[in-house]
């Protein structure tokens, strides 16, 4: 079949890239190897830290993001997906320098949430400090009349610690207990759902861990990528 080729701009971090790749595989209806989509992955962990850049304390990641996106385009990808929420702060800069579209994970998540949970109006965002500072989710969710609740600064610090622990390869039941405890505090404050708004969060917080829905942008992006890849390539 003349299907589109998926490009994954990854490495931010590698575990999140692997998670997205795995979800695409699981969401693809396939009986044999040839039924799967061709996926080109540039796992580039050398891209500078996005949160540090947004906070003004680190190197600008945009040049490396552009190079990585261009690599995927040259390799034959028809569109790009990025398993990093904070990197979406730089999405317009990347898009201006490549000729294939980038699917916006945060925009897709807002559309999904509105369609699946039309009656819910308050959702708490678990994310990196860079994503909070840039208000990436506020823009798309507020446009659909959905309020974004933010954890307290100490809770944000703990979430950030957990994110970097996952990036370093650590996964434990203690980490799960900590993220569940923070989740329960947000539910007490009125959160009707939790957005796993950093691609490391779904690796420790799973469906049924808490009593409200967990919105997994990585999974939403994987579903959208599968839908897009089914379309015929345009030469």
80: nearest Cα among 228, 209, 193: 228
Catalytic residue among 6, 12, 84, 162: 84
Which of 15, 14, 19 lies closest to 42 in space, CA to CA?
Answer: 14
124 is catalytic: no
Question: How does DSSP classify residue 204?
Answer: T
How many angstroms separate the most distant Cα atoms in the chain?
53
Helix (H, G, I), strand (E, B) or coil at 82: coil
Say how far apart CA 190 and CA 147 lie, in whole Å.
11
* Backbone Cα Rg of the chain: 17
Catalytic residue among 198, 210, 225, 229: 198
Residue corresponding to tokens 């799960």 = 176
Question: Which residues form the catalytic set?
Answer: 84, 198
């Amino acid at each position: 079949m003349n299907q589109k080729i998926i490009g994954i701009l990854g490495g931010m971090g590698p575990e999140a890239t692997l998670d997205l790749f795995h979800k695409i595989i699981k969401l693809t209806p396939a009986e044999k190897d040839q039924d799967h989509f061709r996926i080109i992955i540039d796992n580039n962990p050398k891209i500078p830290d996005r949160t540090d850049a947004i906070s003004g304390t680190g190197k600008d990641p945009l040049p490396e993001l552009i190079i990585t996106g261009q690599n995927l385009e040259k390799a034959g990808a028809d569109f790009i997906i990025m398993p990093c929420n904070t990197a979406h702060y730089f999405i317009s800069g990347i898009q201006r320098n490549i000729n294939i579209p980038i699917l916006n994970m945060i925009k897709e998540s807002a559309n999904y949430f509105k369609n699946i949970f039309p009656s819910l109006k308050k959702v708490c965002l678990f994310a990196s400090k860079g994503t909070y500072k840039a208000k990436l989710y506020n823009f798309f969710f507020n446009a659909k009349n959905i309020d974004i609740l933010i954890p307290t600064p100490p809770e944000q610090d703990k979430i950030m610690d957990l994110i970097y622990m996952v990036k370093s390869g650590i996964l434990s039941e203690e980490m799960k207990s900590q993220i569940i405890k923070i989740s329960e505090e947000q539910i007490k404050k009125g959160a009707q759902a939790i957005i796993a708004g950093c691609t490391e969060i779904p690796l420790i917080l799973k469906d049924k861990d808490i009593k409200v829905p967990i919105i997994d942008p990585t999974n939403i992006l994987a579903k959208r990528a599968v839908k897009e890849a089914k379309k015929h390539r345009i030469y």
